[in-house]
Amino acid sequence: MNALSHLSDIVIPLVIFYILAYGLSARVKVYESFLKGARDGLKIVTDIMPTLIGLMVAVGVLRASGFLDFLGKLLAPLTEWAKLPAQMIPLLVVKLFSSSAAIGLVLDIFRESGPDSYAGLLTSILMSCTETLFYTMSVYFLAAKVTKTRYTIPGALLATLAGTAMSVLLAGRML
């Protein structure tokens, strides 16, 4: 195990040296290419920053206002029937917008129910089986200048529903 630990310490420097060596052998101006990539990356960051800030503010407002807890209680009769605890509804809604904000809810669920409980296990699986749909769409579609999204949202919501259903099934079988 110790050798594997040391191997993982040198993998990234080896990859960097490999890229440099390959670029030099192909007679590519490596440093100029790096600067051009960094410049392009910085431009993309400045293009998507307002969208990211808007998403983070919206999630913060929803969470602080208590709307997410209200929504969970409102949908509890439907979700409890499907073996989805009401405390998962805010997690699913927030996860559509921001993984980092969802992690705060995950920690709350772990604190309340424990990581080894049904809710804790379901939370862990849900975080792996769902995507930050609106964040991903806003960032990648904006960066790639995609304007016709057509079936993206319905398809992604269907995938999230399928991931949620499988999470409930898996968590139920593991306990």
Cα–Cα distance, 125 to 80 (Å, whole number): 17
Q: How confident is the model at residue 164 (pLDDT cuts 50, 70, 90)?
A: very high
pLDDT tens, 21-69? Answer: 999 999 999 999 999 999 998 998 888 788 778 877 887 888 889 898 8
Cα–Cα distance, 26 to 28 (Å, whole number): 6
| Residue ranges per structural domain of the chain | 48-174
For residue 141, the 8-state DSSP code is I
Contacts of 103 (CB under 8 A, 6+ apart): 127
Q: Which of 131, 130, 137, 135 is nearest to 153 (CA)?
A: 137
pLDDT tens, 115-154? Answer: 999 999 999 999 998 888 887 887 788 778 888 888 888 9
